[in-house]
Amino acid sequence: MNLETTQSQTLAKLTQEISIILVGTILLTLSAKIVVPFYPVPMSTQTLVVLGLGLFLGPVRSSLVVVTYLFEGLLGLPVFAGTPPALAGPAYIAGPTGGYLVGFALAAAAAGWIVQALQGLRPAFRASVAVFLGSIVMYCAGLLWLGGFVGYGEKLLNAGLYPFLLGDLTKATIAVVLYTAYHNRRAV
Ligand SMILES: O=C(O)CCCC[C@@H]1SC[C@@H]2NC(=O)N[C@@H]21
């Protein structure tokens, strides 16, 4: 293999990786726009995409997608659930939902790592454990930060956890079903 072939293969691989990351951020942005504007924490479909990214892309690529997404928001692009009406930028990320946003990166990484670490077990089982633990990681980050705004205790759970449990369970189940269907199809 000559130098030119190696260089063009590296370039093709890099282009593919960048495309995957950009498509991931577009999906995440779209999922932020399917939103019910609760205050201070909106209901959205972001967790479906975050967990799906973790399952399908693994820990490194999925967390890179989320970090790129956060960077887009930091630059002022309206990629978040509350933008508009709020303005994206550092102040938005430092706001009430900032913990969930950072938690998205941790959840994607955790779900991706767990689903890979359980390789060899049934896809449905691996994915279920991964989305469950990934969601816990995301909620820990989200609630810890949100508590700084609404206070800790019952008020925090009413604002940041209880209204979302059923919806997030449904979204996590969809991510598991998609992952399982994909793997079962590949196994045929
Ligand atoms: O401002 C953002 O873009 C992030 C919104 C975070 C919403 C959280 S994620 C977990 C929980 N489930 C939801 O549907 N909404 C909250």
Residue 183 CA to ligand 1 centre (angstroms): 28
Q: Whose CA is nearest to atom 14 of ligand 1?
A: 43
- How far is it, in rounded angstroms, from Cα 148 to Cα 99? 10
Q: Which residue has the higher pLDDT, 9 or 147?
A: 147
State how many domains the chain has: 1
**Position 52 pLDDT exceeds 70:** yes
- How far is it, in rounded angstroms, from Cα 106 to Cα 112? 10
If you average pLDDT over every residue of the chain, what do you get?
A: 96
Q: Considering Cα of 75, then 109, then 31, then 166, what sign does the dihedral take?
A: negative
159: domain CATH number is 1.10.1760.20
Residue 123 CA to ligand 1 centre (angstroms): 26
Spell out which residues line ligand 1, taking CB within 6 angstroms. 32, 41-44, 46-47, 80-82, 97, 100-101, 142, 164, 167-168
Pocket test for ligand 1, best of 27, 38, 47, 156 (most atoms within 8 A of CB): 47
Atom of ligand 1 at shortest range from CA of 164: 12
Atom of ligand 1 at shortest range from CA of 81: 3
Taking alpha carbons only, the member of 59, 76, 44, 53 closest to residue 142 is 44
pLDDT digits (tens, 9 = 90+) for 157-179: 999 999 999 999 999 999 999 99
Give me Rg for the CA atoms of the chain.
18
pLDDT digits (tens, 9 = 90+) for 64-93: 999 999 999 999 999 999 999 999 999 999
> Residue 32 — very low, low, confident or very high, per pLDDT cuts 50/70/90?
very high
pTM of the model: 0.95
Supply the pLDDT for residue 92. 97
Range of the domain at 124: 1-184
Q: Are 76 and 88 in contact (CB under 8 A)?
A: yes
Residue 43 CA to ligand 1 centre (angstroms): 6
Whether cis (ω within 30° of 0) applies to the bond prior to 40 is: yes
Atom of ligand 1 at shortest range from CA of 104: 9
**Position 104 pLDDT exceeds 90:** yes
Three-class DSSP category at 106: helix
Tokens coding 118:
């359980």
Q: Which residue has the tokens 């609760």?
A: 38
**Position 34 pLDDT exceeds 70:** yes
Q: Whose CA is nearest to atom 11 of ligand 1?
A: 164
**Position 1 pLDDT exceeds 70:** no
